[in-house]
Amino acid sequence: MSVSDGTRSAVAAAVSVARAHGVRCDEPVVLRDAWHVLVHLSPAPVVARVSSGAPTMDPEDVVRELDVARHAADAGAPVVSPSDLLDPGPHTHDGHTLAFWTYVGERREPDPAAAGEGLRAIHAALADYSGALPVQHEMESLLDELPPSADAELLRELTSRSLPAGQAIHGDAHLHNCIGTADGPLWHDFETSCRGPVEYDLAALMQEQRIHGGDHRSAVALAAYGEYDAELLEAALPVYSAWIAASWLVALPRRPDLVQRTERQLAFLRTGRR
């Protein structure tokens, strides 16, 4: 696999900051290079998540993410915890923003039923979270990056819809943000945590199947989650899906692999199936 200069720079930043905080890293391993670069700082049980390209990691978002994940972990919810081997961040180095997390070994596909049960446990753990969070996803700055078009106006209208007030939630709770382990699934990537109804997270859980089809694991997870407001989930689906579409449109120059998925996402939203 070819490695870009941006990825090399992100890995170097992760190693440098970790070593400055006393964490040994003999062989950094890139676990993922997509929105951000994930680097296992082997042999230490630490993963660095490093900004690379767009969208970037806002240090304030990282502070919130770490705080929300720590709150959920302290309550015993099944989440990947911030690292306790060094200050988890945020750190800045050579133009990158970094956060450090506990490494999860022996990863596998998560059991969907256990993932759904875990998401309910996370919602229970976050019900008393009192930290400042945006209400749903704040979209204006993201939408302002898009050129004027009918699709941009559609996304603006959909994301402006108000949902009932809720609690602290994950904000992007699809199964790709859940890691299977020998001890059960762990949820991660709380970067877009926000306040809203739990059904907003359930819309995130279901949107892959509803729009892109093929994978029925999310339905199993939803069934295992337990009681929820089905009408509110339907109302939340286009709001969440419009945020995803806007995020992909902004990222397309760096992620041309998303072109077909973005068009399918927009087609779903244009048809009025909402």
Instruction: Give tens-digit pLDDT for 142-183.
Output: 788 888 899 999 998 998 888 988 999 999 999 999 999 989
Kindly report the backbone phi and psi dihedral angles of residue 258, in degrees, each rounded to the nearest multiple of 5, phi listed first: -90, 0
Residues 133 and 239 in one domain: yes
Residues 65 and 142 in one domain: no
Q: For residue 261, is it within any domain?
A: yes
Q: How confident is the model at residue 57 (pLDDT cuts 50, 70, 90)?
A: low
> Please, which contacts does 80-87 make with residues 24 or more away whose CB atoms are closer than 8 Å?
80/104, 80/179, 80/186, 80/187, 80/188, 83/46, 83/47, 85/23, 85/44, 85/45, 85/46, 86/18, 86/21, 86/22, 86/23, 86/46, 87/21
Residues 122 and 224 in one domain: yes
User: Peptide bond preceding 43: is omega within 30 degrees of 0, i.e. cis?
Assistant: yes
C-alpha angle 89-93-99 in degrees, rounded to nearest 5:
25
Continuous segment of H or E residues that includes residue 198: helix 198-207
Residues 150 and 74 in one domain: no
Neighbours of 230 (CB within 10 A): 11
Residues 148 and 204 in one domain: yes
Q: For residue 75, is it within any domain?
A: yes
Q: For residue 107, is it within any domain?
A: no
Residues 124 and 194 in one domain: yes
Residues 55 and 116 in one domain: no
Which residue carries 């951000």 as its tokens? 36
Residues 136 and 259 in one domain: yes
Q: How far is residue 158's CA from residue 154's CA, in Å, rounded to a whole number?
A: 6
Of 82, 102, 122, the residue that ends a domain is: 102
Q: How many domains does the chain have?
A: 2
Model pLDDT for residues 27-56, shown as the tens digit of each residue: 999 998 877 899 999 999 999 999 875 445
End-to-end CA distance of the chain: 40
Which domain, by its residues, includes 84? 5-102
Residue 191 token pair: 């970067």
Q: Give the CA-trace dihedral at 31, 36, 37, 43, to 10 degrees.
A: -70
Q: For residue 119, what is the domain's CATH number?
A: 3.90.1200.10
Of 45, 79, 102, the residue that ends a domain is: 102
What value does the mean pLDDT take over residues 220-230?
97
Q: What pTM, to 2 d.p., does this model score?
A: 0.90
- The rounded Cα 163 to chain-centroid distance in angstroms is 20
Q: For residue 13, what is the domain's CATH number?
A: 3.30.200.20
What value does the mean pLDDT take over residues 12-29?
93
Residues 136 and 38 in one domain: no
